[in-house]
A and B are shown apart, each in its own frame.
Chain A
Amino acid sequence: MADSQSLITVRGISKAFPGVVALERVDFTLRKGEIHALMGENGAGKSTLIKILTGVEQPDTGSIELEHTLIRIRSPQHAQQLGISTVYQEINLCTNISVAENIMLGHEPRRFGGIHWKKLNEMARQALLRLGIELDVTQPLGMYSIAIQQMVAITRALEIASAKVLILDEPTSSLDANETARLFAVMRALKQAGIGIVFVTHFLDQVYEIVDRVTILRNGSFVGSYDIADLPRVELVAKMLGRVVGELQALAQDKARGERQPDERRLIEAAGLGLSGMLEPLDLAINVGEVLGIAGLLGSGRSELASLLFGLTSPDSGTLLIDGQSVTRFSPQESIKRGVALCPEDRKAEGIVGDLSIRENIILGLQGRYGWFKFINRQKQDEIAEKYIKLLGIRTPSPDQLVKNLSGGNQQKVILARWLVTQPRLLILDEPTRGIDVGAKAEIQKLVLELVKDGMSIVFISSELEEVVRISDRIVVLRDRAKVADYDHAVSDRTLIQTMAGEA
C-alpha cells in the first residue's frame, strides 16, 4: 500500500453520524502526478471522505498520512496550509471583482502601503499562463464562463496554497464538451507537474478519458482501488452497484413480484415529454396497478423524470396524459389533485418537515389537498396518525414525536404515510430505500407490492438494481438524461448494467 510515490495515504478511516455510518474502514492512496477518480452512488461516502480530507469533518478512527507524515487535518484552512486544496462544484469566488484579484486575494503584492496593481495583474497573468490559459485578468470574473471560473479557482488553489493535492468535486457537471476538454487540458498539465488530483464525477466517459486510477465506494465502505486500464466499464458499474458480473448471469430471476397480471388500463401516457438541459424527450406509459422501475446511474435523469411527472418542473416539449386527460398546468398541487404523489430523493430537504410531529407530517399531504377551509380536526388527525403508524410499523413512542428525531427508515415511512393517506393512483418513489437499514428496506419493498395489488401504480427509482429488478413489472433505463431502453421484468441484471454503462 505504502509506495514511495504516495502523496496521501488514508488507512481505515471510519466516520459515523447520528444514526448512520457514513464511512467504514476506508483506505485510499493518492500518488504524485496521478488523476484519481472517486466514484460511487449517492450516499456511498464520497463527500464524507472529501470532507475529511479537507478538514471539514474529523474521522472517528483511522489515519491520514501526507507524504509519509502522519497528520491530523483540523480545519479547511489547515488543509490548505498543508497543501490540500479543493475546488467545489459551486465556485466560491467573487464574480464581481477581477480575475487577478480573485487569484491573488489576501496575498496582494504591496507598494507604498497600497496594492501594487501592476505587479498583481502580472503575477495573476503568469499564474494562468503556466496552466496554458490566456485571459484579460483585469476583467471581472463574472464575465467568463463557468469553465474559466473553475480554472481560475484551480489557479488560485495552486498559487496561494501551493497545493500538492487538488480535489475537484464534480467540476464538469455544468460544463459542455468544449469546456470539459479545456479543463482536462489543465488537469493534464497539473499531472505533469506532479500534483495529485482527486476527481469526483459521475460521467463514465470522462473517467475513461482522463483518469489513471479509480477508487470505488459503496454504502460507506471501500470496494477497491483499480487501474482504470484494467477495469472494463461493466465491471466498474457492477462494482458501484455491488454486483459481481459473473454472479449476475448465474443469479436466478427471483422475482418477488410473483405472477401478477397487470391491468391493461393506461394511467399515464407521456409522449415526447422532455425539458431541455434536464431530460431528453421520451415516451412513457404506465398501466394501472403496475410497477415501473427506473434504472440509471446518478445524473442519468431519473430524478428529473420524477420531477416532471410530479409537476415540480414544467416540460418544454411533449405531452403528459393522466387518465387520458392532458396536463396543462404543472404544479405539485395539480398533480396531487390528479392522484399523483412523490416521495422525493432528498428526504431531509424535500420530504420531512423536521420540527413538526409525526402526526402533523402524516396529515400534511391530505390537509394540503383539502385546502384551507376543510380542517381535519385533532381527533381525526390522531386517528389517521395512529392508523398509519401501525400499518407501516413506524417505531415511535408517540405520534407527537418530532420527525427529525426518527431514524431514516422511519422518516421514509412517515412520508409514505403522508401520501398513502391521500390515496394516490400513482406513487413515485425516488430512492425510497436509500440510507435506511436492511429491515426497513424489506418492509418498504413489501409495502410497495401490497399497494400495487390494491391497484396503485408505482414508479420505483432506485440505484440498487436488485431492488428494481425484484419489484418492477417493466424497467426503463436512463442514461445521460435520455431513455435508452424499456425492458420487461424478465431482463437480466447483466443486460441492465450493460445498458446503463452504454455498452449494449
Chain B
Amino acid sequence: MNYTVFFRRIRESRLFWVLTAWAVILGFNALFIPEFFRINIQDGHLYGNLIDVLNNGAPLMLVALGMTLVIATGGVDLSVGAVMAISAAMGAVLINPAPGDKLVSNEILTRNATNTPLAIIVLATLAAGTLCGLWNGLLVSRAKIQPLVATLILMVAGRGIAQLITNGQIITIYYTPYFWFGNGYILGLPVSIYIVTAVAIIAWVGVRKTPIGLFIEAVGINPKATYYSGISAKNVQLLAYTFSGFCSALAGLILSSYVHSADGNNNGLNYELDAILAVVMGGTMLSGGRFSLLASVLGAMVIWTFTLSMYTLGVPANALLAGRAVLVLLVILLYSDRRLVKRRSVRADTQPKSAVITPDENRDLPRP
C-alpha cells in the first residue's frame, strides 16, 4: 500500500489522536514514574495504577458512552452528573430508609443490612436515571427545547432532587453487598470493568448491528434530509437521551458503591464536562454526525490516566485542574490544526486593515 495513503488513513481514523494522547501520557510515565505500571497481586486480585484507571474511570466511561450518542444526534446532555447523584441517592435511600421527621437511631442507620432486596435497589436506581434521561429526551424531541437548555434544567434541578430524596443529608452506606459494584472483583479484575465492557458491547451491537447508528448519524448530520427520508428524528433523539440517562444511572450506582455514600451535592460533580471532553477527544464532533463508542471510552481512559499520573507524581489537586486544561487544549488543537490555519488566512483577507476606510483607499488600484 502507498505510504502516504496508509498514514492518511491512520491519521483520519477516529482512534488515532486519542491513542496518541494516551501513548504520550504513558510514555511520560514510563520515563518519570515507572512505578505507575507496577501491578501487584493481593488475595488473587490485581492492584495497581493501571487497574485504578479502569476502576475509577468506569463511571466516566459509562457516561461517555451515553454522551456519545447524544452528541452524535447534534445535542448535548449536561445533566449526567446530576442524574448520577439522583440514582446514587435512590440507591442509598432504599438501603436505609431515613424519614426526616422520625428519630432513627444510629444503630439502624449504620447496620450492615437492608429491608429492600438488592435487585430491587439496583433496578430502582437504574429506573430513576433512565426516567431522567427520558425526561430530557421528551424536552428535546417533543417540546423542541434546545438540548443545552433542556438538560441544563435537570443539571440544576437534579442535585436538588437528589437532596430531596436523601432529605438533605449525606447518606453513608454500610450495606456491604452494595459495595460489590464499585469494589468487587471477578477473576482478579474489578467488577466495574465488566460492567463497562458489557454496556459498551451492548451499545455497539445496538447501534451498529441495527439501523439505529445510521439514524443517529443521519439526524446529527442533516436532520431535515433525514426527516424527508421518512425517519423519525424525534424517536432517535428520545432513545439517545434515555440511553444517556441509563448510563449515568449505572455510573451513579458504581460511584456511590465505590465511595460508600450518596451526596447530592458532590456525586458526579463535573462529570458532564469530563464526558463531553472524552467524547470530543474520541473524535465525535459537537455538531453531531459520525461517532465512535470505542474512541469515547478511550477518551475517558485518557482523562483518568492523566489524573492518576498527576496524583502519583504528587501534583496537588488544585494544580491538577490546570494540568488537565493543558491536556484538553493540546488534544483539541491537534484536531483543529488545519482549520485554525485556514481560518486565520481567511480573516486576514476579508477584514479591513484600518478601522476607517474611505473610497479613496482604492486610489492605488489601476484605473481603466
Chain A residues close to B by CB (< 8 Å): 63, 65-66, 69-72, 74-75, 77-78, 81-83, 310, 312, 332-333, 335-337, 342, 344, 349-356, 360, 363-365, 367-376, 418
Contacts and interface: CB of A to CB of B under 8 A. Distances in A.
Q: Give the most central of A70, A77, A81, A353: most B CB within 10 Å.
A: A353
A364 B221 CA distance: 13
A101 to B, nearest CB: 22
A498 B366 CA distance: 48
Contact of B221 (A71, A335, A354, A363): A354
A69 B221 contact: no
A364 B367 contact: no
Given A75-B351, A333-B232, A81 B358 contact: yes
Interface of B: 209-212, 214-215, 217-218, 221-222, 224-232, 235, 289-290, 350-352, 356-359, 362, 365-368
Contacts of A370: 211
B211 A342 contact: no
Nearest to A333: B230
A375 B210 contact: yes
A367 B289 CA distance: 18
A63 B368 contact: yes
A72 B222 contact: no
Contacts of A70: 362, 365-368
B286 to A, nearest CB: 14
A355 B290 contact: yes
Nearest to B236: A372
B224 A349 contact: yes
B230 A74 contact: no
Those 4 A-B pairs whose CB atoms lie nearest each other, nearest first: A336-B230, A368-B230, A368-B231, A353-B222
Interface residues of B, dominant DSSP:
loop
Q: Give the most central of B352, B359, B367: most A CB within 10 Å.
A: B359
A372 B209 CA distance: 11
B347 to A, nearest CB: 10
A198 B230 CA distance: 41
B228 A351 contact: yes
Contact of A360 (B214, B350, B356): B214
A372 B236 CA distance: 10
A431 to B, nearest CB: 14
Contact of A72 (B221, B225, B290, B362): B362
Given A354-B221, A418-B229, A74 B350 contact: yes
A342 B209 CA distance: 28
8 contacts: A66-B359, A69-B359, A337-B230, A352-B225, A353-B217, A367-B215, A368-B226, A418-B229
Given A75-B351, A78-B352, A332-B228, A354 B359 contact: no
Contacts of B352: 74-75, 77-78
Nearest to A418: B229
A372 B211 contact: yes
Contacts of B231: 333, 364, 367-368
Contacts of B366: 70
Contacts of A363: 214
B178 to A, nearest CB: 35
A495 B209 CA distance: 56
A69 B214 CA distance: 55
Nearest to A81: B357
A353 B368 contact: no
Given A355-B290, A367-B214, A350 B228 contact: yes
Given A74-B352, A78-B352, A312 B228 contact: yes
A355 B367 CA distance: 46
Contacts of A367: 211, 214-215, 231
A83 B198 CA distance: 65
Contacts of A356: 214, 217-218, 221
A15 to B, nearest CB: 16
Nearest to B363: A69
Given A70-B365, A370-B211, A373-B210, A364 B226 contact: yes
B362 A352 contact: no
Nearest to B217: A356
A66 B218 CA distance: 47
B90 to A, nearest CB: 29
Contacts of A368: 215, 226, 229-231
Nearest to B211: A367
A353 B218 contact: yes
Q: Give the most central of A77, A351, A368, A371: most B CB within 10 Å.
A: A368
A364 B217 CA distance: 11
Contacts of A332: 227-230
Contacts of A65: 368
Contacts of A350: 224-225, 228
Given A367-B214, A369-B230, A351 B359 contact: no
B289 A355 contact: yes
Contacts of B211: 367, 370-372, 374-376
A353 B226 contact: yes
A356 B229 CA distance: 14
A332 B231 CA distance: 8
A333 B217 CA distance: 19
Given A70-B362, A351-B225, A364 B218 contact: yes
